[in-house]
Structure 1
Amino acid sequence: MRKKFPLLTIVNTLIYLFIMAPLLVILISSFNSGEFLVFPPKGFSLRWYEEVLTGGRYTGPFLTSIKLAVLTTLFALPLGTMIAYAIQRFEFRLKNALQGLFLSPLVIPTLLFGIGLLIFFSYLGIRMFFLRLLLAHIILIIPYVVRTMLAGFSRMERSVEEASIILGASPVKTFFLVTLPFARPSLLASAFLSLVLSFDELVIALFLTGPGINTLPMTIYSDIQFNLSPSLAAVSSIIIVGTILIGLVGIGFMRWGKKT
């Protein structure tokens, strides 16, 4: 009979509480009825949620961040998937160098990455700020997709694909009808990471954005410096709840995929 370790359970619970405490503070502070961001709140009110949803200050940056995150995912997910499949299934010269190249953004500090991209895009003469942000996000997100999809493809036996080809399916048909359905959990995880990481990116936007382009993280960062009101907690709470809902939907799809 296995022994129970109540001390370990207590320690784990304290760790989880320590991690969740900042999120709970933000959620509770968002219902503050006062004019300033304080904890505990002085009263209960939904006025700051109303201001966030109808005031217009956060609407434009929110739509820009959503558009940027969706487009980044649409480009980074297929590119990262193909790169991961090529690395996992084929042997070719400079394979290790190619793998290191696509994983290098994971180890390069984002600050240096932003400076390098700013100099590079300026040299190329790319002055469309949204395009610069989109290209930077794609470059930044692809390594996460590659790492996730490498793990997904490595769990699949090559004999399954070989059996499909022996039965008459072409390699392309095998990839779309056999390989990708098997790696569906990794695809969903990659899409979730792409959306969240792109939506949340701040440092790159500070270097590459310009007049007329403002993302939600930039607006929040500016308000933290110059306008510390409970509306910050309200918009942050909306992001937290939205992220949790997206994660729950992704988990539901993953469970549905396993059953089917």
Structure 2
Amino acid sequence: MGTMMDRELRDGLGLARIPFLVLGVVLGLFMLVPLAIVVPTSWTAGQLLEFPPKGFSLQWYRAVFDDDTWTGPIMVSLRVSLFASLLSTVMGTATALGMRRLMQGRTSRVMRSLFIMPLAIPYVSYALGIYHLFLKLPSGLADTTLPLILAQATITFPLVYVVVAGALANVDPRLSSAASTMGARWPTILWRIELPLIKTAIIGGWVFAFATCFDEATLAIFLSPVDQTTLAQQLYREASESIAPTLSAVSTMITMLAILVLGIGSLIMGRGTAARRGGNA
């Protein structure tokens, strides 16, 4: 099917596809050139961040894991990203299931737009709003990572919702109706029919949410407590104070982690889509 569509697009565009190909290549190079500079500088045997690097050494990677300045923020980012992504996954999945069951027509389209809106609003607005909200709540909450977790869950909720809602759109609603007519109650239908059919989408949505939270910097700068720094914050601070090869090493590790996580997420989503198509066939 994909090959046939590619052939149809190629035949339909003709020579007009050449500018698009050139633009795609240029954009790809534009995105890869910074990476091609950052990665080699993390291998330098010298003491300064310079390109081309002098020699080859993994000393800066060892320095990252031997220094509490970096290991502490890494653990904070992992913890915050885990809780925020799990929260957004639960909310996004529940919302997609509720929208499928309760809302149809124009109301459904309006609600979908509202759910996706957080992607379009500046993160600074969320940060300031949540910060002022927690200042009015019992003392001590504003000095924890809870505001940051809630803010990151808010911005990643639309990602999970879109992924899960897309998977639900490919699930035949007659399956739930048939189970209902045979006496199954809604919790049973949800647990035994709907969730198993969209489990790969849920996992994929969580993977994308986790990757987004781990690499997020704007909300962390505004909402992180003074005694707990995320990895993105630490990168910003180090870059503003000095330029050392450690920065390249950390940046390379984050980039590789993001590529790995997103690759796993895409693989999970692809297998889930193929399984649903095979089941429908």
Same fold judged by TM-score > 0.5? Answer: yes
1:103-161 residue CA offsets vs partner (Å, 9 max, x unmatched): 33212111122112211211224333212212222222222222222222122221122
Question: 38, 59, 62: which one pairs with 2:50?
Answer: 38
How far apart in 1 are the matches of 2:41 and 2:71? 21
- The one-letter code sitting in structure 2 at the alignment partner of 1:45 is S
How far apart in 1 are the matches of 2:59 and 2:67? 11
Within 5 Å, which residues of 2 pair with 1:36-115? Answer: 36-91=48-103, 98-115=111-128
- The one-letter code sitting in structure 1 at the alignment partner of 2:117 is S
Q: Contact 1:184–1:254 (CA<8 Å) still a contact in 2?
A: no
Within 5 Å, which residues of 2 pair with 1:129-168? Answer: 129-168=144-183
Residues 121, 96 of structure 1: CA spacing in aligned structure 2 closer, same or farther, 3 A cutoff? farther
Q: How much does 1:259 deviate?
A: 5.2
Moved more, 39-48 or 250-259: 250-259
Q: Contact 2:131–2:142 (CA<8 Å) still a contact in 1?
A: no
Give 1:186's aligned residue: 201
1:53-99 residue CA offsets vs partner (Å, 9 max, x unmatched): 21222100000000011111222111111111112331389656654
How far apart in 2 are the matches of 1:41 and 1:215? 28
Give 2:187's aligned residue: 172
Asked which structure has the greater RCO (Cα within 8 Å, sep 6+), the reply is 1
Q: How much does 1:11 deviate?
A: 4.9
Q: How much does 1:100 deviate?
A: 4.3
- The one-letter code sitting in structure 2 at the alignment partner of 1:225 is S
Q: How much does 1:101 deviate?
A: 4.1
Is 2:211 the counterpart of 1:199?
no
SS at 1:127 equivalent: helix
- The one-letter code sitting in structure 1 at the alignment partner of 2:197 is F
1:233-260 residue CA offsets vs partner (Å, 9 max, x unmatched): 1011111222222234334444555459
- The one-letter code sitting in structure 1 at the alignment partner of 2:120 is V
Unaligned runs of 5+ in 1: none
- The one-letter code sitting in structure 2 at the alignment partner of 1:114 is A
Q: Contact 2:45–2:57 (CA<8 Å) still a contact in 1?
A: yes
Question: 35, 40, 53: which one pairs with 1:28?
Answer: 40
Is 2:239 the counterpart of 1:212?
no
Q: Contact 1:69–1:198 (CA<8 Å) still a contact in 2?
A: yes
SS at 2:142 equivalent: coil
Residues 249, 104 of structure 1: CA spacing in aligned structure 2 closer, same or farther, 3 A cutoff? closer
How far apart in 1 are the matches of 2:263 and 2:163? 19
- The one-letter code sitting in structure 1 at the alignment partner of 2:129 is G
How far apart in 1 are the matches of 2:21 and 2:107? 47
Residues 100, 255 of structure 1: CA spacing in aligned structure 2 closer, same or farther, 3 A cutoff? closer
How far apart in 1 are the matches of 2:267 and 2:204? 12
TM-score by length of 2: 0.82
TM-score by length of 1: 0.88
Moved more, 140-149 or 48-57: 140-149
How far apart in 2 are the matches of 1:256 and 1:102? 26
How far apart in 1 are the matches of 2:119 and 2:262? 23
SS at 2:76 equivalent: helix
